Every structure is written in C-alpha cells, then in structure tokens.
Structure 1
Amino acid sequence: MRRTNGLARVLLPSVLVAGMLGTVTPAATASAGPKPAEPAACTWKPAILPMPAGALAGEVDAADGSGGYAGTISYGANSAKGGRAVLWKNGRFTDYGNLADPAYRKWVTVVGVNRSGTVVGSVDREGDGFPSAVRSSNGRIKRLPELPGAFASTAEGVNDRGDIIGAMTDTEDVAKWYPVIWPADKPGTVQKLTGLPDASVVATGIDEDGTVLVDVEHEVGEELYLWKGGTARKLAAPDNAQAYIPRGIANGRVIAEVTSVGNVTRSVLWDRDGQPRAVERGADIRDINRDGQLVGRTDDPSRQEFGVWQGTALAATLHRTDESGLELTVSSDDGTIAGRSWRIPGGHDEPTVWTCSGVLSTGQDTDGGTAQE
C-alpha cells in the first residue's frame, strides 16, 4: 500500500549530477542500533499467481496487506493488449487493463493498492514519454485530475482511506516537481501540499494515518520530510547523506536508500523514534510493512541474494538456484513477501508470492530460502 516507486526512483538527484564536490554537515549517524528480537526462521514457500491465457510475463508490484496483490501482466511489447494493471484477491483475478487513450502507451506502471482494491500508478505518453497519474475506477484505468498548467504527473502511493499522493510538474525540463494529494474525502480533486521548502519536491509514500513521506531535492543536497495536515517535519539525516531513494513508509517507520560522500550507498531505517539506523547487509531494500518487515537485495557480491529483515536485523535470505531466479520487491502487512520469479533457462517473469510456512533449524531449504540463526 505504501510502497514508493516511480518518479522518486528514476529521477537522478542533482547532487549526484554535480558530483561529490564537498561534504554535508553530519546531522545524525546511521548506526546499527539495538536489534529487535529475531523471529523464528522459516521456510519461504513460493506460489505463482495465475495469469490469463496469452500473457507472457507478470510481476507483483504492491500488496493490500490482506491477501491482495497488484501488479502488471504483459502480452508483449508489440501486442495490442500491452502491459495491464491487474489485481489478485480472494482467488479472483481482475484485469483493469491500460489507459484507453491513443495518446498514451499501452503499459501501466503500478505502484500501490489499498484494501478496497484501488490500484494506482502512471502511464507514459506516446510522444514524449512523460507520465500521467492513473488509478483504477469502475473496473478500468483512468487518469487522475491535474492542477491547471500541469505538464506531467505521477501517482506514488495510496492508503486504505483512499488518499493518493504523488507529484506534478509544470515544465517540460522536469527541473522542478511539486507534491500533490488526491484526497479521498474530496473525490475528483487534487491539492498541492503546502508548508514544504521551495525546491523540487515529490510525495513518495503515505501512511495509514495520513502522514506523507516527501523527498525534497535542493540544488546542493537532498532531504526527507514527513508531512501531515499542512505541517512538515524534516527527518534526521545519516552522516554525510547527500541523496535518497525513498522506498516506503509504514506504521511510523521509513526506509530509504541513502548515498553518502564517496558514492557509498546503504539502506537506512528510521524507526518511530525518528533516528536513522543502518540495515544489516542491506544493499537495496525495496519495501516495509506495518510490523517493520523489510524485503530487498542483500550486499552479496553475486547480486543474486535477497533478504527478509525484521527491523534492521537480517532474518532470512533467499537465493537464485540453477532452476529459478527471483526478485523480492513487496512486503505485505500479512507477512507474505512478493515480486517475480522465472525459470532457468529462458523463463519469463511470473508473479510470485512467498509465504513463511514453517520453522527451520538451520541451513537452506529446497525452495531457495535460507534460515538465519
């Protein structure tokens, strides 16, 4: 529900474009901090979600926290069906399709879903490739309204109430974005978030209490803020932090990839006390659930090892095998994890959910999940 993707992930921060020309005054250290008690190790059992006949590939991009998963299925780049937003829930498969507008590409980038089944994301224009924010409504994908003068927009998350957050820009050079919310209590409207610095600003995720995670990009640095009801609070920065890729907010916790002086990147978790702490062996954390369960890639040099964390502590690892590959991108509130897997050799991506199915004493199970003691 609260995953942060899309714009915040693909835009290159100006601080990195300018190069590492100096240091940022340390504000707080991303230390390991006290580790929470590790959960019992378990076997992560994969299950492939069904796709309709003719679909070539698919993946899970978001979860609703109660057994529902949203993502995209592809019929091929040159197919008239393209890449379609879909939902798996309670044994049912719902195909929301793509945007019925010839000015847009037939591909939906899905970034979030809530428990009511509202799927949000963006669709790129055919001519220039700039995005427009979209949501599911009445079984179809539709554009979200934009403020007057907007050139492009993107949706970045949705909560169970139905509030959708994202960003817009009024200029083709996308030098400056501003954060917006499509409030659930005022359907059909969009509002700019106020009380934030005058910079390029993107709302990248939203918690269930309405707290919005905001990425603020200045010309010489970057900051993360929490915004609620018109009031913004800056998150404490890890030592020498220069750039961020926000990955999620859930139940008062925030996760992000942080780049520091020397182009050093690490995964950092802000717990409810607001202090940043380094995630053990975290190289590319992708999501967080309400209980602080993280998923993403570890620092293994092979780049083929993925992990499940409880807070900052690594609890389990899952590996590519000779028969199958995998990528973990979703941590659901019900404890499942999801993403995609593929058969080796030559298999297409398949939408996959992994469930903790039992306690292991040690070692690696036959499905690629390794218990950490």
Structure 2
Amino acid sequence: MLIRIAAVVAVAITAVASPTASAATCAPTLLPLPATRVAGVVLAADGQGGFAGEASSKRVLGSPTVHAVRWSGGQATDLGTLPGHSSQSVNVTGVNRAGTVVGDAPETSGLHRRAFRSTGTALAPLPEPAGVDSSWATGINDNGDVVGHVGKDFQQGTTIYTVHTAVLWPANAPSTVVALTGLPATGQTIATGVDQDGTVLVEHYPTTTDAFTATNLYLWKASAVRKLTIPSGTVAVDGTAIANGRVVGGTYASEFADGKGVLWEQDGSVVRPATAGTLHSVNRSGLSTGFTTTTTLTYGVWQGSALTATLTGSLGVNVAADNGSVAGWSRTGTSGDNQPTVWRCA
C-alpha cells in the first residue's frame, strides 16, 4: 500500500531549525490568530489576498480543539467547528473569493466524517446522498461549486473498507449532491479540486479496497471526461490541485518510493519541475509549491518548470496564492507553537 506524504503539516509538528530561505528572498508575515487559539496553519487561498486554514488551542491533558479560520484584510474570523461533531480534527480544504470555506469534520465517535461549507461565520453540513456513511469536501470555486467524495462502508472478513465516489455540490442547486458520471465504473473515484470553469480533478483507484494508490487522473466537466497522460514507469499518482487548466501532483515508481513532482500544462503536456517532489498547490499563473527532492523537508516554489525559491527549517508551505505569495506555517525555535504564515519571495 502506498503511504502518501500529506501536503498539510499538522499544527503540532516538531522540527529542529529556525525558518530560513535560500535561492530567493522570501519574507514571512505572520497572520493573527483568533482569541483562545495559540497555533495555526494556512491551507487554502481565496484568489484575492485572503486565506483559510485551521487554528488550535493548547493541549491540556489530551488533544487540542481545532477551529476553521478565515483570514481577510489581515483579520482572522473564527468559524469554529461543525455543530454536533468532534472539535479535534476539523480539516479545511478550500476557500473562494466570497469567503466560503469548505472541508470536513469527524463525528464525535470518530468513525465517519461530514463535509461542510461555511455560512456566514459558522460551519454547516453539506447534504449527503441516502445510504452513505461519510462525506468530504475537497475544493470550491468562485461560482460556489463544491467538490469532494462520499463513502460507503462495507466489511470484507474482519476489515471494514470505505468505497469512495466523486461528487459535486453544484452552486445552482446547493441542497443536492451529484455523482460524477462518465468516469470508470469500477474501483473508486475521489474529486480533489475544481477549476473556475467547473472542471473537476478526479483520482481513480482501480480497486474498492485501496484508497491510497490512485493509478489515473481525469478531468471532468459537465459529464465530459478527459484522461490525463501519466508518465511511464508510474505505479501510483496524486492529483493534488487544479487552477486555470493546469494540474499538479506527484508520481511514484513503486509503492514505497518518494514522489516526483508533475505539472500538467493546459494542453495536457507533462512537465517535470526541477528537483520537485510531490507538488501541493498551483495558482492561476502556474506558480506551484511542494517538497523538493534535494533535502528532507525542504519546500520549493516553482514557476512552470523552474525552481525559483526554497524554504527550509521549522515551517511548512501548503499554498500558492494567485497574488504570488505562498503560505503555510512557521515556528521560531524548537518548542514554540506553529503560526499561520505568508511569504513573499522576490
């Protein structure tokens, strides 16, 4: 089973060096935290200088509470947690220009998750089709279309599996859930992002018992489906983000191999950005972020195929914003709390 490296670094991760940048000047700016929150991370950008992410309380005899947060105009808005659900692992995945934040939260039992979007300054559950056990929202565009996947559990022997199906919550019918048609009928599908024109990025998993090893990527729009070219020698592939017709992700030559970054251009051609591990984010102009393959836990910023900046130390870079900034978290020293951070790389 392929164990993929998450693009998001948790707000309680431990590192050993102070934030530094090389190959370019990347100036950090710390974003404010809501009251009662002591740590945070940026996970999404809204296309006009704002961000969304998570902020946590200090651990007190157990896990911290985690709130969804929206940053706009340098101010933080605490969106809290999804009512009736656990507050310990809220997951923010997207935000649009209107400030609507999407993601998912666990049930209090921790067995299943529920997709949400923000309404005003609160989180509200997205509708689920009958018969499903879990739902996840993974992206939203400026029109308000939300994408993600729903899961239905089944038991095989003593193991419980979840079969995932890519879905759309359309802006023009927000109380409905639409399964994406025209995709492979076998295995599983997960929507991982949505472009401004409604094109949805979908990962396909060939079996119903493995939600870690996707083997193909598809672009879906209004039931029309296009399969992306996968580089030769690929055993598994991630499709992590889509913007202005470009897709980024990573490929793996074996189940336990490190990822190698990929950028699919607007015409579908495959680009291997220099020294890129799995790419996490891409903006409308083709600026992308992700891990480099040069040094452990070094983050890179690429414009197309060219590496333009690297950042290393007690930090994580998750987002390439449309204004040219990149964002994630940073920490000074080895024992402080992670702080939501935005960098401008000259």
Larger Rg: 1
Residue 106 of structure 1: how far off its partner (Å): 4.2
Taking the aligned partners of 1:319 and 1:105, their CA distance within structure 2 comes to 31
* Correspondence for 1:91 among 47, 71, 74: 74
Distance 1:75 1:288, change over 3 A: same
Distance 1:255 1:221, change over 3 A: closer
- The amino acid that maps onto 2:281 is D
- The amino acid that maps onto 1:229 is A
Look up the match of 1:82: 65
Q: Secondary structure at the match of 1:177?
A: strand
Distance 1:221 1:247, change over 3 A: closer
Q: Secondary structure at the match of 2:153?
A: coil
- The amino acid that maps onto 1:187 is P
Taking the aligned partners of 1:53 and 1:147, their CA distance within structure 2 comes to 36
* Correspondence for 1:148 among 121, 125, 130: 130
Look up the match of 2:225: 232
Taking the aligned partners of 2:77 and 2:238, their CA distance within structure 1 comes to 31
Look up the match of 2:14: none
Taking the aligned partners of 1:124 and 1:97, their CA distance within structure 2 comes to 14
TM-score norm. by structure 1 comes to 0.80
Look up the match of 1:272: 266
Residue 260 of structure 1: how far off its partner (Å): 1.8
Distance 1:175 1:93, change over 3 A: closer
Residue 251 of structure 1: how far off its partner (Å): 0.6
* Correspondence for 1:68 among 47, 50, 55: 50
Residue 327 of structure 1: how far off its partner (Å): 0.9
C-alpha contact 1:9 1:246 (8 A) present in aligned 2: no
* 2:193 pairs with 1:205: yes
* Correspondence for 2:336 among 343, 347, 350: 347
C-alpha contact 2:41 2:328 (8 A) present in aligned 1: yes
- The amino acid that maps onto 1:194 is T
Taking the aligned partners of 1:68 and 1:308, their CA distance within structure 2 comes to 19
How many residue pairs end up in the alignment?
Answer: 314
Distance 1:118 1:9, change over 3 A: farther
Deviates more, 1:85-94 or 1:154-163: 85-94
Taking the aligned partners of 1:250 and 1:82, their CA distance within structure 2 comes to 32
* 2:211 pairs with 1:214: no
Look up the match of 1:130: 112
TM-score norm. by structure 2 comes to 0.86
- The amino acid that maps onto 1:338 is A
C-alpha contact 1:105 1:125 (8 A) present in aligned 2: no
Taking the aligned partners of 2:170 and 2:59, their CA distance within structure 1 comes to 34
Distance 1:174 1:167, change over 3 A: farther
* 2:322 pairs with 1:333: yes
| Alignment of structure 1 residues 224-373 onto 2, 5 Å | 224-261=217-254, 263-264=256-257, 265-301=259-295, 303-320=296-313, 325-356=314-345, 358=346
Q: Secondary structure at the match of 1:241?
A: coil
* Correspondence for 2:181 among 194, 206, 226: 194
Look up the match of 1:17: none
Distance 1:65 1:276, change over 3 A: same
Deviations 1:99-119 (A, max 9, x none): 121x53443200000000000
Deviates more, 1:181-190 or 1:261-270: 261-270
Deviations 1:50-90 (A, max 9, x none): 11343221010000011101010001355898110011101
Distance 1:184 1:283, change over 3 A: same
Deviates more, 1:279-288 or 1:143-152: 279-288
C-alpha contact 1:269 1:311 (8 A) present in aligned 2: yes
| Alignment of structure 1 residues 167-186 onto 2, 5 Å | 167-172=149-154, 173-186=160-173
C-alpha contact 2:278 2:290 (8 A) present in aligned 1: yes
Residue 293 of structure 1: how far off its partner (Å): 0.3
**Structure 1 outlier segments of 4+, above 4 Å:** 77-81
C-alpha contact 2:67 2:78 (8 A) present in aligned 1: yes
Residue 91 of structure 1: how far off its partner (Å): 2.9
C-alpha contact 2:94 2:103 (8 A) present in aligned 1: yes
C-alpha contact 1:341 1:352 (8 A) present in aligned 2: yes
Residue 137 of structure 1: how far off its partner (Å): 0.8
- The amino acid that maps onto 1:298 is T
Look up the match of 1:38: none
Distance 1:132 1:335, change over 3 A: same
C-alpha contact 1:297 1:307 (8 A) present in aligned 2: yes
| Alignment of structure 1 residues 153-164 onto 2, 5 Å | 153-164=135-146
Deviates more, 1:72-81 or 1:208-217: 72-81
Taking the aligned partners of 1:53 and 1:177, their CA distance within structure 2 comes to 37
Residue 257 of structure 1: how far off its partner (Å): 1.2
Taking the aligned partners of 1:129 and 1:108, their CA distance within structure 2 comes to 14
C-alpha contact 2:234 2:254 (8 A) present in aligned 1: yes
- The amino acid that maps onto 2:322 is D
Look up the match of 2:28: 46
